[in-house]
Chain A
Amino acid sequence: MTAASTSALDLGAIRADFPILNRVMRGGKQLAYLDSGATSQKPLAVLDAERDFLLTSNGAVHRGAHQLMEEATDAYEQGRADIAAFVGADADELVFTKNATEAVNLVAYALADRRFDRVVGPGDVIVTTELEHHANLVPWQELALRTGATLKWYGVTDDGRIDVDSLVLDERVKIVAFSHHSNVTGAVAPVGELVSRAREVGALVLLDACQSVPHQPVDLHGLDVDFAAFSGHKMLGPTGIGVLYGKRALLDAMPPFLTGGSMIETVTMEATTFAPAPARFEAGTPMTSQVVGLGAAARYLDALGMTAVEAHERELVAAALAGLSGVDGVRIIGPLSMADRGSPVSFVVDGVHAHDVGQVLDDDGVAVRVGHHCAWPLHRRFGIAATARASFAVYNTLDEVDRLVAGVRHAVEFFGS
């Protein structure tokens, strides 16, 4: 199963933490789960952490004075601290949201609020890129509509990278939002370059880190972005939880997005004052067991070591690129070399629609994503409606890459005959 892997990880032990990987699928073959870019599988450590919490310490956080409430609050805030440490941030710079999409929307709504000194207005410019997931595009389109600002974007190169020379920023630009790793092409953005260009014109930077945090060491302080968003379920954690990182001074200056309980300081019938960040952005009863689970996921990945995780996944991606490139009719949408290259490997097959490629792979037990992967403009950029996408995580093996390549050959034979 782990044949020929040179990685420092004990793949057998890791895979034992993910029982779902042993499933035999409807085609009679063992699951080869190559869709972690959509959602990752969860290790026992995450499930056990949630269950243990619910069995022993469940209570409403930040309310009341009984022992369970105190234990629940401690578990919640310990989760925040562990997740913050995992991404190179301070605990009070992390806001929990229901998913990464909500995290981006939180910033987009704050930027339309006149109480915020960074508010966007008519004549201002919002910048994103042509390779974004819809979650890092549509909120900015909507912000432009609400405020009268203009949306502009960096184009994409033929090998699926952000074309940093396709747009010149000026002082009208208020925020630049881009993905750390493309969820389609796997290209890793030149974060330092994009941040420094934004800084030159005084713009804020939001990093969509959904596809990077699960796959490589990420140091948000080191990257010097103003905001970052990532999701729990893509990094071996639960669904129903996302994270917004914001620099402390910015979070302190931002008005709330959702309002209600938990986020207040004082309330009268006439007016309300708000709690300091991050509580100001966590209205209502928070997702407690999910935070506990996500904290466990961060500790799990940290114990494996993100440098080792990254090295292992690079081996898988390199093997997938080499294997798929050897199949006649396959075209990779994204960088062919491993330089600044992350996990997802997206491709089209001449004469075989991505849905049909995915169906053949499914019959072989190989789970990939097919479609536009919530990045429709990027697919339009390449003149295609859909791609098949294999995306990897720490638990995948070279054997599974071989099954992917064999399955794609199978699809070519099945539809080509």
Chain B
Amino acid sequence: MRLEQIYQEVILDHYKHPHHRGLREPFAAEVHHVNPTCGDEVTLRIALSDDGETVTDISYDGQGCSISQASTSVLTDQVIGQTVGDALKTVAAFSEMVSSRGKVDGDEDVLGDGIAFAGVAKYPARVKCALLGWTAFKAALAQSSASDTALAQSSASDTALAQARGSNDSSVEETR
């Protein structure tokens, strides 16, 4: 049964009992991302430590399929508490696995429950679902950095942030 490959138990658990859901204050940046092919959407906020180095919270609200909702829940588990640089590395690893068409298994030490989404990679139509929250997070980081040029200029994660800012994943653009 292939359904269990894509809908692993851990994904269904995150879907039915999402972690860190809801929008919270304070936040450094808020983004609203939409998957234009299906209308799924997420509003996502990030909070950073005073020095701007650490992701202290990710809060979100939205509607979408089990894959998009569960993957956003996993994102918060993995990334809250990480430095900005490590968070971007986690995002990159998840993106690589989910976009690999099943060629990359993913490292559980980096992705935690995220490795359950390796099965999703075999279904190209669902990759955008899995990345919805993660791409929103990257955009929120870029936005917070853009609003704080001092951080952008001094941060050790300049390069990673620039990449985040430069990324232009059309799957989550609000308009076509």
Contact = CB atoms under 8 A, between A and B. Distances in A.
Contact of B65 (A26, A27, A354, A363): A354
Query: Which of B6, B7, B65, B129 has the most C-beta atoms of chain A within 10 angstroms of its own C-beta?
Result: B65
Given A371-B38, A372-B39, A385-B38, A363 B66 contact: no
A370 B67 CA distance: 14
A355 B67 contact: yes
B65 A356 contact: yes
Given A371-B38, A385-B40, A415 B66 contact: yes
Nearest to B67: A355
Given A355-B126, A355-B129, A414-B7, A363 B2 contact: yes
B1 interface: yes
Interface string A10-38: 00000000000000001100000000000
A360 B38 CA distance: 17
A385 B64 contact: yes
Interface string B61-96: 001111100000000000000000000000000000
Interface string B1-34: 1110011000010000000000000000000000
A353 B11 CA distance: 14
B121 to A, nearest CB: 14
A330 to B, nearest CB: 17
A386 B2 contact: no
A180 interface: no
A371 B126 contact: no
Nearest to A385: B39
The DSSP consensus for interface residues of chain A is helix
B2 A355 contact: no
A353 B41 CA distance: 13
Contact of B3 (A355, A376, A414): A414
A27 B67 contact: no
Interface in A356-409: 356, 359-360, 363, 370-372, 376, 379, 385-386
B37 interface: yes
B126 A359 contact: yes
Nearest to A364: B3
Interface string B94-136: 0000000000000000000000000000010010010000000
A385 B41 contact: yes
B162 to A, nearest CB: 33
A61 B64 CA distance: 49
B38 A370 contact: yes
Interface residues of A, number: 18
A255 to B, nearest CB: 28
Given A379-B39, A386-B39, A414-B7, A353 B2 contact: no
B56 to A, nearest CB: 30
A370 B35 CA distance: 13
B39 A371 contact: yes
Nearest to B3: A363
A134 to B, nearest CB: 9
Contacts of A363: 1-3
Nearest to B120: A359
Contacts of B3: 359-360, 363, 414
Contacts of B37: 371
Query: Which of B2, B39, B63, B67 has the most C-beta atoms of chain A within 10 angstroms of its own C-beta?
Result: B39
B65 to A, nearest CB: 4
B2 A26 contact: yes
Given A353-B64, A353-B66, A385-B63, A359 B38 contact: no
B21 to A, nearest CB: 16
B41 A359 contact: no
A371 B2 CA distance: 22
Interface string B118-156: 000001001001000000000000000000000000000
Contact of A356 (B1, B2, B41, B66): B66
A26 B3 CA distance: 11
A74 B32 CA distance: 54
A383 B65 CA distance: 16
A357 to B, nearest CB: 9
Contacts of B41: 385
A14 B129 CA distance: 37
A306 to B, nearest CB: 32
Contacts of A355: 38, 40, 64-67, 126, 129
Interface of A: 26-27, 353-356, 359-360, 363, 370-372, 376, 379, 385-386, 414-415
Given A356-B67, A359-B6, A385-B39, 20 more contacts: A27-B2, A353-B64, A353-B65, A353-B66, A354-B65, A355-B38, A355-B40, A355-B64, A356-B7, A363-B1, A370-B38, A371-B37, A376-B39, A379-B39, A385-B41, A385-B63, A385-B64, A386-B39, A386-B40, A415-B12
6 closest A-B pairs by beta carbon, nearest first, are A355-B65, A353-B65, A371-B38, A385-B39, A372-B39, A363-B3
6 contacts: A353-B64, A359-B3, A359-B123, A363-B3, A372-B38, A385-B64
